[in-house]
Amino acid sequence: MTGGNAIRGTRVGAGPMGESERGESAPRKRVDYWCANGHHTRPSFAMDAEVPEEWDCPRCGLPAGQDEENPPEARRNEPYKSHLAYVKERRSDSDGMAILEEALTKLKERKGR
């Protein structure tokens, strides 16, 4: 027995391929975008679609704009902050000590000391 497979390279239920089976594709327009690193990308959009002002560069991830001479600035990434860091932004050390003392006093009262 020979080891061939008659349906190799096709999917079950794939059907015929081609524009005649899928219908006409929408008219397209290509838009040029440049990032701060000088990368150029040209995504295509449907003619009636709203074209975004910025597009993420597929090479470096920076925002890209339609003006080659003035690409958009890189977004500033905020480092991860813990819950404690956010609390320390809202309260001073003296506020924290006052809250701690109040909580300890309530705890001691509950325990009967």
pLDDT for residue 78: 80
Is there a binding annotation on residue 52?
no
Is there a binding annotation on residue 60?
yes
Distances (CA, A) of 25 to 22, 28, 29, 49, 50: 8, 9, 12, 14, 18
Beta strand segments in 14-94, E: 28-30, 33-35, 40-41, 44-46, 54-56, 63-65
Is there a binding annotation on residue 72?
no
pTM over 0.75: no
Is there a binding annotation on residue 14?
no
Q: What is the CA radius of gyration of the chain?
A: 30
Residues 39 and 60: beta-carbon distance below 8 Å: yes
pLDDT for residue 15: 62
pLDDT for residue 87: 86
